[in-house]
Amino acid sequence: LFTAVELAPRDPILGLNEQYAADTNPKKVNLGVGVYFDENGKLPLLQAVQKAEAALQATPKARGYLPIDGLAAYDQAVKELVFGKDSEPVTSGRVATIQALGGTGGLKVGADFLRKLKPGAKVLISNPSWENHRAIFQNAGFEVGTYSYYDASRRGIDFDGLLADLKAAAEGTVVVLHACCHNPTGYDLTPAQWDQVIEVVKARQLTPFLDMAYQGFSQGLAEDGAVVGKFIAAGLDFLVSTSFSKSFSLYGERVGALSVVTKSKDEAARVLSQLKVTIRTNYSNPPTHGAAVVAYVLSTPELRALWEEELGQMRTRIKAMRQKLLDGLKAAGVQQDLSYITTQVGMFSYSGLSKEQMLRLRSEFGVYGTDSGRICVAALNENNVGYVAESIAKVL
């Protein structure tokens, strides 16, 4: 039965974890996957999460099946965080939100739903984009192309190219946009550029699908989420996949969501019914724990404040590590201008290193980033940043 099965290539991001685990280099540093580690190199268990877990544990609950679309209190908390409690789409009931298995799960449910709704549509992702975007939409049956995004020669966004590509897209094309902390480049559109993108999306009748996995890691929760408000103000129908993996450091709990902004309450109810069919025929219904914790934190004012403080600390420490890395590279004798490390935002720096240089970093120094040259600066700390800087200087 299985003799013809081919060996699939290792996942370009998560596959690095396996390679890293097998590496015997005592100085090894994992900057591959987008995970935040604290100043001691440890995965944090947030205080807000611990307090919520303790409170939930005080009145232990049996674990029945959740509804297909997830814990109602969680879905409501997502809506309020992403769109605003008193925002018109939320109060009028025209947003359909489902609990998803991480941001990836939200993208997948959305992709399956759109494929049934618009079987002839194409999908455009940014060039470059998160490695899994193409795979998710292709596996849902879509043909996936790209729109211009990163201009290596300018170390920034090729905005003219981006607009031109969106203008040339056929009506109904699904456009996957990174709401903040662009993965992998760390370059975000300015508010004025977003306005122009939205104008084209509207004029060309494209279908926007926002991916917001890193809300709070650039400027702050409100600032990073402002793009969502722009799409609402433009009167567009759109999808947005969100995640608490990074912002709550709850990677393994798979707490994400998909929200679909529709024209009316009635439309939202019909969309929700279809999302439920997609979920039921994939994994039936989502798990309880992570959603219960997030819902508890977001609906308890003092825990919500504590969470925002802890998220702010992660954001501030990442920025400090960007500066340390830059200082370390200069101290290691690198002459070229690498100031982009401190202007990029979010968890990643798109280092500009070639695949060969990234492979050398791995094999000679045990420093793991993706082949594309992306390194997770959120995994740097006082103990490893100097070594990482020296290693990068050597391969440069």
Least Å distance between CB 314 and ligand LMR? Answer: 15
- Between CA 354 and CA 142 the distance in angstroms is 30
Catalog residues that contact ligand LMR under the rule CB under 6 A: 13, 33-34, 104, 130, 132, 183, 213
Pick between residue 33 and residue 166 the one whose CB is nearest to ligand LMR. Answer: 33
Specify the residue, 132 or 391, whose C-beta has the smaller distance to ligand LMR. 132
- Alpha-carbon Rg for the chain, nearest whole angstrom, is 21
The verdict on whether 38 is a catalytic residue reads no
Shortest distance in whole angstroms from residue 13 CB to ligand LMR: 4
Q: Of 173 and 183, which has the nearer Cβ to ligand LMR? A: 183
Does residue 130 have an active-site annotation? yes
Kindly tell me which of 212 and 325 has the beta carbon lying closer to ligand LMR. Answer: 212
DSSP per-residue letters across 76-107: HHHHHHHH-TT-HHHHTT-EEEEEEEHHHHHH
User: C-beta of 213: minimal distance to ligand LMR in Å?
Assistant: 6
For 347, how many CA atoms within 13 A lie in the half-sphere containing its CB?
25
The one-letter code for the residue type at 60 is: P
Residue with the shortest CB distance to ligand LMR: 34
Helices within the chain (DSSP H only): 14-22, 47-58, 72-83, 88-91, 102-117, 131-139, 159-168, 191-203, 221-233, 265-280, 289-299, 301-331, 340-343, 355-365, 385-395
Task: Choose, from 69, 112, 130, 307, the residue flagged as catalytic.
Answer: 130
The least CB distance from residue 33 to ligand LMR, in Å, is: 4
Known active-site residue 194: no
Beta carbon of residue 183, minimum distance to ligand LMR (angstroms, whole number)? 5
- Strand-pair category, 238-243 with 348-350: unpaired
For residue 51 the two structure tokens come to 């307090």
From the list 69, 75, 158, 211, the catalytic residue is 211
Q: Which is nearer to ligand LMR, 13 or 306 (CB)?
A: 13
* Cα distance between residue 293 and residue 288, in whole Å: 9
Q: Which of 24, 15, 7, 35 is nearest to 371 (CA)?
A: 15
Catalytic position from the list 51, 246, 307, 324:
246
Give, to the nearest 10 degrees, the angle between helix 72-83 and helix 221-233: 80
Active site residue ranges: 130, 211, 246
